[in-house]
Amino acid sequence: MPERTVTVASRSGLHARPAKIFVQAVARQGTAVRIRVGDGKPVPANSMLAVLSLGAGHGTEVTLDADGPGAEEVLDSLADLLSRDLDAEEVPGA
């Protein structure tokens, strides 16, 4: 199963608006994606409550994994999203 590790760049971490943008992006992918902090238990990345429960603040390293067709491209896209400060930019389709 492919993985990507990325540092959360948003000033507020994966909370509020950045978490919403991320969860919506995952839901649009149509691929099962999970996210975890460190060696913690992975949670479904399409669940707002699960993502918020990670407590991933600014600078936290998170690991994404996905399974299914196009998983590599999905992970690349989501890792790119998390590596930007989503608090400071307008995101199309958000």
- Return the active site residues: 15
- Rounded distance, CA 29 to CA 38, Å? 24
- Rounded distance, CA 38 to CA 63, Å? 7
- Rounded distance, CA 71 to CA 87, Å? 26
